[in-house]
Structure 1
Amino acid sequence: MITTFEAQNEQLSGMAYKNISVKKIIISYLAEKGHATIADLCREMNLSIPKVTTSVTMLITEGVVKDFGKVGSTGGRRPNIYGLVPDSGFFLGVDVKHQHINIGLIDLQKVIIKITKYIPYQLINNKDALYELCRLIKEFIYNTSIPKYKILGLGINLSGRINHETGYSYNFFNFYEDPLSTILEKELGIKTMVENDSRAMAYGEFSAGVVKEEEDVLFLNLDYGIGMGIMLNKKLYYGKSGFAGELGHVPLLNNEIICQCGKKGCLETEASGQGLIRMFKTRVEAGSTTTIDKNKLGQLQVQDIIRAANNDDVLSIELLAKMGEILGRGIAMLINIFNPELIVLGGLLAETGEYIQLPIKSAVNKYSLSLMNNDTKLKLSKLGEEAGVIGSCLLIRNKLLEHSS
């Protein structure tokens, strides 16, 4: 398996290149369809039976493909059916949050082998944090007992602007000339793709979560910032530069708060986790009462406010409702622009349930066109904390098994 994928990156020509190309297409086809006969593969690739049979036999010898025996037929000799050996290759996904990471592993057939969540980690833009991230990934791989050569690819999610094609991250770990994906590949020895966290979470939800038959879907990542993943015609939308979905930096508010992007009035200055913390501290300092210990305000986290709201803390509930109303205005704008079938709410703040959902729905009804919002469903993420790690696993799998005949 490794030979097949590594060889395609070498300078091959003539018959050697063609053999690798045919094997890759067979793997890609089986990964997409599940099982196939020699006749199916011949039709797909427009190649002769001897050529396809030779390539399939080679893949069986390499332990990548398995002969599952005869398949039912309406007449004549019954053909053999072939499929991938699930444990001949694996894909690793890493979802990097501000205070922890989630790591997961899937096999060739997209079955989740292992997910470890809430691994302590501080996302700081320095070299120590980068190499600590690499150390945690190596530790996870070691604990799986799966040989590293069987891990075909690694997908890593980070917040901020990411160009998934070039591998550059423009908000974190951008202190080298080489793209971040190259730096990680050298350190970990695994083919690596870097992706925006909201987009990876969206893809996880699109592929294995709450999305069913819908073709046009928006996923909102409501966390310390606000991110968005866009699916149009069942495909992720990236935009010209690969940065589509920066909802948090739409200037919807008339305030003088400087956003982390350097501009004023961005939606996430008041409708995100960091905005919630700032507003909470401001209200407490102005004399508002709360069940949260005021001596701990310096280390206040979004989870503290959510926990307090669930324990009937009035200030926390009031601020979540205010934030929900602001978010609802932003979502109403999205409905008026995209007219989507479904909007999925995910991320840390989505865990507050009706405290934020009800004011969002009220604002959506108030500010969006009724002809549009009547056709747009609003749902909570099904995968929750696992959305990003599942999405990153599937995205790197798709990239390496991309079917291009």
Structure 2
Amino acid sequence: MSSNFLTDLHNANISGVAFKNIKLKKQILAYFAAHELGTIAELSKAFNVSIPKINESINELIEEKLVKDYGKQTSSVGRKPNNYGLEANSAFFIGVQVSHDYISIAMINMKKELVASKDEIPFQLENSEQSLHDICKEITDFISKLHIKKEKILGVGINLSGRINYRTGYSYSYFNFYEDPLSNFFEQELGIHTFLENDTKALSYGEFSSGIVTNERDALFINVDNGIGLGIMVNGQLYYGKSGFSGEFGHIPIFDNDIICKCGKKGCLETEASGHALRKRIIEEIQNGATSILTKKFSNIEDIRLNDIIHAAKKDDTLSIEAINEIGEKLGRGLAALINIFNPELIIIGGVLAKSEEYLSLPLKNAINKYSLSIVNKDTKIVVSTHGEKFSPIGACLLLRDRLLAITE
């Protein structure tokens, strides 16, 4: 593959005719990403650009091995034009989900096909340089086993929890001990253009792109994990806010309690309606003498994790069922407020706790009906995602690809 075009994609100093040529090529690639195939005439009409100019750009993209000639159309009458489309393995994108207990990595090609992945690599997230270097090592090891030329990897997207400004590459929750943007550190270590993203936003984009969203233009994704995150889609685009920090749903002060949240405030939604709150309650109940099948599995109850509680609920463990029900009811109160504010077409419930299915969703929906305005909530469809956390690294891949092609902002 020619390196000139790929270099130009990341070069902000290009202007004039060169800039227009790059822009047109990106438009062509984005068209193929959306429509799969297209003819010279269709592209000319779509972009109001002359056929000779489209033909020139197509030939250059074919030479650069980004576009492929897929042969003649089969349905048209008369002389059949050639169909063109993306060359699937012309370029690749890597997404990395950094969670508290593991790292997951995925790679897709230009056609959004999953090429390689490595799930739940054991890892302990700490705000330290050692933890930061461990992330780099896992990514480097993953890339070394791919047998793909490094220049074909157009970007690495790294998801972290907390406050991330993807436009500047700064993280304000983890690894913020350097003056330069954190994305610069990763880029220097990996030798590949690197972008940071909030994990909930990346997971949201993966979910919004998974087929759950059909014709809806305004949707919300609720990530119910140890914390509570919110992804917002407005008019088909992820909403970031001024500094990229939108979606701090878990830190709405909804409860009148003295529980100090990890953000330092009291009464946040996360203090009583998150996975962290669920785990804390289960451990406290067992310590106070409650019976549960979890006590048979764990000699040290501090080792209990969210997946263990969900599994116990599905085994008819009364303590786990009641605790998840209570989380669902409290979360539903928060969602009722979002519905009253946004009046969304669709709400997707995802993350680890979504795997508890009706134990979470039934009390959640009851609370929504109780606390939101009926004239507003009747227009909102609520679905529970079955994808789990696996879409986080894929979401990062998709964001890289679609931003490169200017499909999303």
TM-score (norm 1): 0.93
SS at match of 2:93: strand
- Which one-letter code corresponds to 2:321 in the other structure? I
Residues 1:336 and 1:23: Cα distance change in structure 2 (over 3 Å): closer
What's 2:388 paired with?
Answer: 384
How far residue 214 of structure 1 moved from its aligned partner, in angstroms, is 1.8
Q: Report the aligned-residue RMSD.
A: 2.2
CA distance in 1, matches of 2:44, 2:57: 11
Range with greater deviation from structure 2 (209-218 or 120-129)? 209-218
Question: SS at the partner of 2:115?
Answer: strand
CA gap 1:173/1:73 in 2 versus in 1, 3 angstroms? same
- Specify which of 278, 298, 304 is matched with residue 300 of structure 1: 304
Q: Distance in 2 between matches of 1:388 and 1:83?
A: 27
Matches within 5 A, 1:91-110: 91-110=93-112
Distance of 2:29 and 2:172 partners within structure 1: 34
Q: 2:210 aligns with which of 193, 208, 211?
A: 208
Q: Residue 57 and residue 249 in structure 1: after superposition, are their counterparts in 2 closer, same or farther (change >3 A)?
A: same
Contact in 1 for aligned 2:164/2:197 (Cα 8 Å):
yes
1: CA distance between counterparts of 2:328 and 2:391?
22
Match of 2:70 among 68, 71, 74: 68
Change (3 A) 1:45 1:357: closer
Query: Is the CA contact (8 Å cut-off) linking 2:227 and 2:275 kept in structure 1?
Result: yes
User: 1:262 Cα shift?
Assistant: 0.5
Number of the residue aligned with 1:3? 4
Please give the TM-score of this superposition, normalised by the length of structure 2. 0.92
Of 309, 313, 317, the residue aligned with 1:313 is: 317
Aligned positions of 1:268-347 closer than 5 A: 268-293=270-295, 295-347=299-351
* Mapped partners of 2:148, 2:242: distance in 1: 38
Corresponding residue pairs, total: 404
368-377 vs 293-302, greater mean Cα deviation: 293-302
Change in Cα spacing, 1:26 to 1:265, as seen in structure 2 (3 Å) is same
For 2:237, the aligned partner's letter is: K
Residues 1:403 and 1:347: Cα distance change in structure 2 (over 3 Å):
closer
The answer to whether the Cα contact below 8 Å between 2:97 and 2:393 also exists between their aligned partners in 1 is yes
Shift of 1:254: 0.8
Structure 2 matches for 1:145-160, cutoff 5 A?
A: 145-160=147-162
Partner SS for 1:166: coil
Tell me which residue corresponds to 2:363.
359
Shift in Å, 1:371: 1.8
Cα distance between partner residues in 1 of 2:15 and 2:233: 38
Counterpart of 1:245 in structure 2 is 247
Q: Is the 8 A contact 1:164 1:242 kept in 2?
A: yes
Find the aligned partners of 1:360 and 1:76 in 2 and give their Cα distance. 59
Q: How has the CA–CA distance of structure 1 residues 128 and 307 changed in structure 2, closer, same or farther, with 3 Å as cutoff?
A: same
Q: Are the structure 2 counterparts of residues 15 and 326 from structure 1 closer, same or farther at C-alpha, using a change threshold of 3 Å?
A: closer
Separation in structure 1 between the aligned mates of residue 239 and residue 65 of structure 2, nearest angstrom: 36
Residues 356-389 of structure 1 show CA distances to partners (whole Å, capped at 9, x for unaligned) of 1121122112111122222222211142232212
Q: 1:38 to 1:257 in 2, by over 3 A?
A: same
Q: Deviations over 1:271-302 (max 9, x none)?
A: 11111122222223333333323741233322
Contact 1:164–1:193, Cα closer than 8 Å, also in 2: yes
Distance in 2 between residues matched to 1:218 and 1:28, nearest whole Å: 25
Name which of 139, 142, 146 aligns with 1:140: 142
> Which residue identity is paired with 1:67?
D
Change (3 A) 1:356 1:25: closer
**Which residue of the partner structure matches residue 33 of structure 2?**
31
- Opposite residue 6 of structure 1, the aligned amino acid is T
- 1:229 is aligned to 231
**1:166-220 Cα deviation digits (max 9, x unpaired):** 1111111111111121111111111122111111111111111422222221110
Evaluate the alpha carbon distance shift between residue 241 and residue 20 of structure 1 in structure 2; reply closer, same or farther with a 3 A threshold.
Answer: closer
Q: Would you say the 8 A contact 1:209–1:381 is kept in 2?
A: no
- CA distance 1:234–1:50, shift in 2 (3 Å): closer
Output the CA distance in 2 between the equivalents of 1:10 and 1:385: 34
Q: Aligned partners of 1:75, 1:377: CA distance in 2, in Å?
A: 44
Q: Aligned-pair distance for 1:270?
A: 1.1
Q: Percent identity?
A: 52
Contact 1:217 / 1:342 at 8 angstroms: preserved in 2? yes
Distance in 2 (CA, whole Å) between partners of 1:366 and 1:316 is: 24
In structure 1, what is the Cα distance between the partners aligned to 2:216 and 2:16? 44
Of 51, 58, 61, 2:60 maps to: 58
Instruction: Supply the distance in 2 between the matched residues of 1:357 and 1:308 (Cα, whole angstroms).
Output: 17
Please tell me the residue identity of whatever aligns with 1:107.
N
Counterpart residue type for residue 56 of structure 2: T
